[in-house]
Structure 1
Amino acid sequence: MARIRIELPERWHFETEFPVRIGDINFGNHLAHDAIVTLLHEARALFFKEYGWHELNIEGKGIIMADIGIMYLAEAFHGDMLRYEITARDFSTKGCDLVYRVSRVDDDREVVRAKTGIVFFDYESREPVAIPEAFLRIFE
């Protein structure tokens, strides 16, 4: 069976940390596979907030999710502090991939690699739009 492969970039453009919450735990007593989607969303929201944006207003444009890929690499448990690193790559005219590395702070063990494909979107016209220049400048 083919596996998802996500290569790590040389440089990250944002980093944040927050703990695994009790609601993120599954019956196996570790971080649930579905909870990581919500945690990535939180990290992405904090990334945009760092630049004064949010998902509905990045220089006047919103984003929509086109796809997601997740590689689960190690367990994490309730109370573990996780570090989320984010960057963007694989730019097209209207979108890009956000790449994430999630690792435990205490031992730097990589827990998850992920990528989310985003498309910039005008919610009034309901159409994809060009990537805002200010967003592109972050990654130059």
Structure 2
Amino acid sequence: MSTFEIKTHRIGKTYTQPHFFILNKGLNSGKPLKNPCPNCFVITTPSEDDKNTLFHLSMMLLINGNYQYYLKGSVIPFIAIKDVKNLIQKNSIWLNEIELQKKIETIKKVEILEISFKNKLKVIHDLKMALLRSCKLEY
């Protein structure tokens, strides 16, 4: 696994290298994001493949609950940048495993399917709303 760099994202900053963001405050701390938000870290990588692999590794760590262990704070929980970096580095040794690569490819296919279903649900919701509005109910 090649190297990656993690920094605190500053609003308005643009990045030229392949990158993604990780939420660092709240109960969803550790959630990988494609678009920035005010409370996030940015991970930059030398290649697009490394970015995608680390994005999915981070998603697996979130779903598995690995980030929850490192949450600090009582009112608004947060995760420290060194904890995120150490957790990703520690688990990136598994990225060379062929079985994990197959699982990441399967997860990518499931994500595409999930987007398709969300789009279909939105169309169904819009159709339902149009039908309800055409009923001309009185106030």
| TM-score using structure 1 length | 0.30
Higher-helix-fraction structure: 2
Could you say which structure has the larger radius of gyration? 2
Of structures 1 and 2, the one with the larger relative CO (CA 8 A, separation 6+) is 1
